[in-house]
Structure 1
Amino acid sequence: MTLHEENQLPSIAYSCYFTRSREGEQFVPEHVFSYQIAGTLITNDGNKEYIFNEGDFRFSRRNHLVKFIKQPPKDGEFKSISVYLDQETLRNVSLDYGYKAQHTQNSDAILELKPDPLYKSYMDSLMPYQQLTQPGNEHLLSLKLREAILLLLKVSPELNDVLFDFSEPGKIDLEAFMNKNFHFNVELKRFAYLTGRSLATFKRDFEKIFHISPSRWLQHRRLQEAYYLIKERGKAPSDVYLELGFEDLSHFSFAFKKAYGVAPSRI
């Protein structure tokens, strides 16, 4: 099972792979509580690389961009369980129990959670319920989500300020953000949202700063970085195109040759 788009997010996702899977980019719209059953997950938020192995628990914060690679164990299968904690459920828990964020947290995109028997027991309890997201199980599913939230607060009380911070991204420095995150292959509306702007305002502000449309700038910037990585760092085009947000190798090669007059493999 692959990770889903925002409007199709399951509450509980079971992920299984037999082969090495390079998934590319993912926008994380909701907080996610995950358990690595088997294999290794390597993630990168543009600032830091995180590695999670069998038995590790992690908490991914909402409104972040991440890249990830899933590696199954030798002669085995990659397996993980992820529980998506949606804003509506968190708001209801906040109202019912009086939880409120006291401070704004600007911590890492992904937090490694210390192993705890309560975490393990909870994740084990989900294993028999792989059909839990099917119609008719809404009430049971709601209880399991609330259980996850209360469990996280019990074992990791510092997550209170993360779970119950319902603020949306504020308006930030657009130029700095884009120069840092240009290699993420997400829609413009994601970039707009994460910089605290409507899509129309994002496009208008972008052209004031860069004097070019966002889509043209993104392609130019990615190709510029690709040229550097291939020529100066000796990287292979087959590794570079995914790293820089191109969807397939042929499109990358065509755009590269059009920009530089030579195929990337000839650099």
Structure 2
Amino acid sequence: ADDRVQAITLTGSELAGSKVAESSGRHLKKTVLELGGSDPFIVLSDADVDAAAACGALARNQNGGQSCIAAKRFIVLETVADKFMAALTRHVEDLRTGDPEDPATDVGPLARSDLREKLEDQVERSVRAGARVVTGGTRLSRKGYFYAPTILTDLSRDAPVLKEETFGPVAPIIRVKDLQSAVALANDTHFGLGASLWTRDMSLAREIARELETGMVFVNGMVASDPRLPFGGVKRSGYGRELSDFGIREFTNIKTVSLANSVSKA
């Protein structure tokens, strides 16, 4: 409400974003909102499966899985699903959990007790709905709010770990029969921040990127923040862009000055 504030940018939850947008609208001030995500990690039949699995383990578990752009849903074509599952499981089980200040640590604790409890509840409800735990699936007995890096499979389409944002080291793997099913499932969320797509066919990658309802698509790599690239989402993941020249323009007022040539000649 302060007249000195000209615009607002927020990185946070859907609820926080809606409250900020409501207040900003009341005061007619521009906002840029970077909110939650349920990013799909899509592995096609021609993908480098080993490279995808190694990247997927990092993309899901970086910062203890507490990242809006972490890979949240692994959507894999049936033809490579078994190979990908085995490779991802191996990479996830190789991750070291421990003190985040220790350079050897790969996965640290969750930030708060309530966040771990919410993640546990999401996993437990998904298991009750038919999901199978491949690895992990439990808290760790040590100081701090640790939860074991987890992989789930055999999920129903309405499983909580698919329909809700999971903010922790839990990777659900969903098998699909064809490309159309993969795209449809990727878009079956009210979030739309980023997507990671794995294929050797760059022409096909461009086509799929146009169909994915996300603000960002990274082909054969994890979704990342790069100051050279515009960063932001669509749908309930927010609006506007950070970084790059697009981010600068978000908080630049465009002024039009038209000068009519009214000087008369002597």
TM-score range, shorter chain: under 0.3
Q: Which structure's relative contact order is higher, taking Cα pairs within 8 Å and 6+ residues apart?
A: 2
TM-score, normalized by length of structure 1? 0.24
